Amino acid sequence: MMIGKIDHIGINVNDFDAAKSFFIDFGLELQGEDELQNDMLDRIVGLKGAKTQVAFFRTPDGEANIELIKYHAPADENGVQKSAANTLGIRHIAFVVTDIDALVAQLKAKGTETVGEVVQYEDSYKLCYIRGPEGIILELAEELKPT
């Protein structure tokens, strides 16, 4: 099992347009935008009825990526508490890993909780959110090799 590079940083915001403008003004390159609302999203993030608007940014050198997320549903109305996948602010850091199932089992044995489930995204990744100390959420991403 090996921990790989950071894949992207996810930042949840309330004012999507203002945040998007900020990152463009800062000098990040907008790679694309999308809206997501489906069972797969619910299962990955551990929420029911999740509806998101997302924008993907990359540093000019291509080495770092930011995912800007606006949760239209469900809304975060609790302020700062044990953070869920839809809490405002920097919410998760994604790491590329090998053998996600073994890593999740190892972390659970040490008391780490998963936020949602390990879910396969198309033929490209297996994904899972885990919660670390202080409510920090890490996304584990295992790249799947074509068969």
C-alpha to C-alpha distances, 54 to 33, 45, 72, 83, 111, nearest whole angstrom: 5, 14, 11, 19, 31
C-alpha to C-alpha distances, 57 to 4, 24, 84, 93, nearest whole angstrom: 20, 8, 23, 15
Give this prediction's pTM. 0.69
Each residue's pLDDT tens digit, 48-103: 999 999 999 998 889 889 999 999 999 887 644 567 788 887 788 888 889 999 99
What topology is assigned to 3-143 in CATH? 2,3-Dihydroxybiphenyl 1,2-Dioxygenase; domain 1 (3.10.180)
